[in-house]
Amino acid sequence: MLTHQHIWTALDQLAEHYSLSPSALAKKAGLDSTTFNKSKRTSLDGRLRWPSTESIAKALEATGATLDDFLRLVAKQGAAPRQTMPLIGFAQAGSGGFFDDGGFPAGTGWDEIVFPNVADEHAYALEIAGESMLPVYRDGDIIIVSPTASVRRGDRVVVRTTEGEVLAKELRRQTSKLIELRSLNPAHEDRILPVESIATMGRIIWSSQ
């Protein structure tokens, strides 16, 4: 989506790339020197002013930049911020040393993936292995788990037990004593676990399907 801010920032970056100020870029393009000034980007009554197609075309001609160059600058403004996120195989998640007592990723045995920013800085990724979670998750799928997200009935969750078992299931019901989990694969049984046997439970917030 093109926004007013994206277009103007791209023009600013175009000028900077050629060691020009917005005013100098406008003059070089044969336009009024104030055409690209920040004071001209919003009217007195608060309405947004957009650069004209003609002014952008003249700026590109003056600098020698192509339309593709300019569009890349625009796209750069709209790109989602990205973060590095820890990744391990699903089977490894039950091993010791990968999580701290709060259920947050810890230790040094993690791989990493680059992923758009999520609200939970402790989120981590698991790679599905095997067919036990078909048809919802397939071998090789990546799921993102948020250990701090609130969990409600019907959410898909990753549960780690105090015995080191790791389960990806749907939360069917939770009481003060029991957690009922529905299997994602009808060939596997549902589970009912006492609350004291649960080490951590995180909500699955994304999958690579």
CATH of 4-78, one of 1.20.1440.230, 1.10.10.10, 1.10.260.40, 1.10.3720.10: 1.10.260.40
Backbone angles phi, psi at 53, to 5 degrees: -60, -40
Distant-in-sequence contacts of 53-57, Cβ < 8 A, 24+ apart? 55/26, 55/29, 55/31, 56/11
In DSSP terms, 126 is beta-bridged to 88, 143
Backbone angles phi, psi at 16, to 5 degrees: -65, -40
In DSSP terms, 87 is beta-bridged to 111, 125
Topology (CATH level 3) of domain 82-207: Umud Fragment, subunit A (2.10.109)
Would you tell me how many other CB atoms lie within 10 Å of the CB of residue 3? Answer: 13
pLDDT at 118: 80
Mention every residue, 6+ apart, whose C-beta is less than 8 A from residue 3.
77, 78
Please state, in angstroms and rounded to a whole number, the distance separating the CA atoms of residues 203 and 159.
9
Q: 100-127 pLDDT, tens per residue?
A: 988 899 988 899 998 877 878 899 999 9
pLDDT at 29: 96
Q: What is the band of 40 on the pLDDT scale with cuts at 50, 70, 90?
A: confident
Residue range(s) of every CATH 1.10.260.40 domain in the chain: 4-78
CA angle (142, 146, 151) in 5-degree steps:
115
Q: 154-201 pLDDT, tens per residue?
A: 999 999 999 999 999 999 999 999 999 999 999 999 999 999 999 999
Q: Radius of gyration (Cα) for the chain, nearest Å? A: 26
Supply the pTM of this predicted model: 0.62
Task: Quote the percentage of the chain above a pLDDT of 90.
Answer: 72
